[in-house]
Structure 1
Amino acid sequence: MSFVGIGPVVEGIDAEFWRVTEPLIYRGATEEFVVPVGFRTDFASVPRALVWLIPRYGIYTRAAILHDYLLRSQVVSVAAADGIFRRSMRELGVSMPRRWMMWAAVRAAHGLRGASIADIARFVLVAVPSVLFLAVPAVVVTVFLILFWMVELAFWAGRRLARRTDAPPPDPQMNTA
């Protein structure tokens, strides 16, 4: 069970999305999944306030692309896609705390659809400490992001107002020298 090759090879579409330019192949326990050329991904969907802890891409990029593909193609259930996501991150060498937090986040995002009692217990064991661990830094980062956006807005508005009050440039044909 692992990814085949070094992929993924992607090209940027815009500031948020990427397109797979070579097939990404993952061999599972009983099935093989092929993310086709042209598949569009946003890598890991991480809220902006948490990007400092879990960037949108990293050692887990292939697992994130595979997870996006499994969800959109519906070749497996949501719960199975989330499980393959966690397993493939382990195979890629993602640290246990990071992979379990990422798994808990996707399970929470999917409302624990199709979850077994064991999955729910694992989710609670990971999610509660993760929320406690992340709450303070996430709030601090969010407050400072809002403050930064306000400062940017103030400078933007000031620049716009300054342009309106500036005298027009002198006409080069009126040069008396």
Structure 2
Amino acid sequence: MAFVGSGLVVVEELDATFWRVVEPLVYQGDTQEFVIPAGFRTDFASVPRALVWLVPRYGAYTRAAILHDYLGTTHVVSIADADGIFRRCLRELGVSAPRRWMMWTAVRAASRLRGASLAAVVGWVLIAVPSIAFLAVPVIVVQVFLVLFWLVELVCWGIARVFSRTATPPPEPQMKTA
């Protein structure tokens, strides 16, 4: 129940979104072995742009994201099983529990919303709205402190510019001859 080999992911960038696997990636499951062939196209973790600061598109979970893309594309297993394997891989790769559950929940929600009925979409919205409210607090705090930090840097830069002006230029470097 782990990825086989060195753990290195060798990919080639195709464009700003997609990458191509250069060397096969092998995952040994409980009963099945999944081989992601060279040439397979992936986007790593499909994270909405607004949340990339929280969950980057690649990291400790890159191999799990590539495997999930592969399983979802080839339909070797059901979507629910692919999502479960993704969650198990995240745990095996040492992804922290909060990040692991957040990523798995997003993957499950996306899987369930594909071709979903109106009732399923309404149920998802009832779960998503409190989640967004939960994320809004850290987003606002981070943004406020980024602006404050920028202002502090701006003030320090201005003070340094005023007090660092000297009448004499700095000395020229001396060439040392041996």
User: What is the TM-score with the length of structure 2 in the denominator?
Assistant: 0.67
Answer yes or no: is 1:16 the counterpart of 2:12. no
1:2 match: 2
CA deviation map 1:104-131 (0-9, x unaligned): 0010001178xxxxxxxxx9xx978744
Aligned-pair Cα RMSD in Å: 2.5
How far apart in 2 are the matches of 1:46 and 1:78?
18
Deviation at 1:135, TM superposition (A): 3.3
* Distance change (3 Å), C-alpha of 1:48 and 1:106: same
Question: What are the ranges of 5 or more consecutive residues in structure 1 without an aligned counterpart?
Answer: 114-122, 143-177
How far apart in 1 are the matches of 2:32 and 2:130?
34
Contact 1:101–1:127, Cα closer than 8 Å, also in 2 = no
Contact 1:7–1:22, Cα closer than 8 Å, also in 2 = no
CA deviation map 1:38-70 (0-9, x unaligned): 000000000011000000000000000000000
Contact 1:67–1:81, Cα closer than 8 Å, also in 2 = yes
How far apart in 1 are the matches of 2:61 and 2:33?
19
Deviation at 1:132, TM superposition (A): 3.6
CA deviation map 1:118-171 (0-9, x unaligned): xxxxx9xx97874443234558999xxxxxxxxxxxxxxxxxxxxxxxxxxxxx
* Distance change (3 Å), C-alpha of 1:14 and 1:112: closer
CA deviation map 1:9-42 (0-9, x unaligned): 1010011100000000000011000000000000
Considering Cα pairs closer than 8 Å and 6+ residues apart, tell me whether 1 or 2 has the greater RCO: 1
Answer yes or no: is 1:92 the counterpart of 2:89. no
How far apart in 2 are the matches of 1:110 and 1:139?
29
Q: In structure 2, what residue type is equivalent to 1:75?
A: V
2:149 match: none
Aligned ranges 1:58-137 → 2 under 5 Å: 58-111=59-112, 130-137=131-138
Aligned ranges 1:27-46 → 2 under 5 Å: 27-46=28-47
Q: Secondary structure at the match of 2:57?
A: coil
2:57 match: 56
Contact 1:101–1:130, Cα closer than 8 Å, also in 2 = no
